[in-house]
Amino acid sequence: MTDPIADMLTRIRNAYHVRKHEATFPYSKLKMKICEILVREGYLEKAQPNEDKFPQIVATLKYSGRKAALESITRISKPGSRYYIQADAIKKVLNGYGIAVLSTSKGIMTGKEAREAKLGGELICEVY
């Protein structure tokens, strides 16, 4: 697998499309931090590591009635084409209804947090 982050985002997107209750994918610290942001922002119900034979993350999806909490999740920076952005160039996603997830020198954070801290970084994905 060349892009484990894209694989995680695709598994979450596909699980929402088929109305599953949870999505599982291989564990990494970066994936766990991204999931924690998605939980904090209300796109996932919860995400917790599962210590089986192979460590995995079990992400419980969030629905409001029949409507999924997440409409779109898009990978921006890819292994072959990295996308870095300065703090003053970070735009609101969908006029503030979505979030951007960035990897900065201070860790993984949302676009809003990075703008407030005046930090730029690698734009990992956009979610709305």
For the chain, which residues make up each domain, given as ranges?
4-68, 73-127
Residue spans of beta strands (DSSP E) within the chain: 22-26, 44-51, 55-61, 63-64, 67-68, 73-75, 84-85, 99-104, 107-110, 121-127
Quick: pLDDT tens for 64-100. Answer: 998 999 999 999 999 999 999 999 999 999 999 999 9
pLDDT value at 14 more than 90: yes
The highest-level CATH class for domain 4-68 is alpha beta
Global model pTM greater than 0.75: yes
d(CA 15, CA 35): 15
State pLDDT tens for residues 36-59: 999 999 999 999 999 888 999 999
Closest listed residue to residue 63, CA positions, set 36, 33, 91, 43: 43
Q: Which CATH class is domain 73-127?
A: alpha beta
Distance CA 10, CA 51 (A): 22
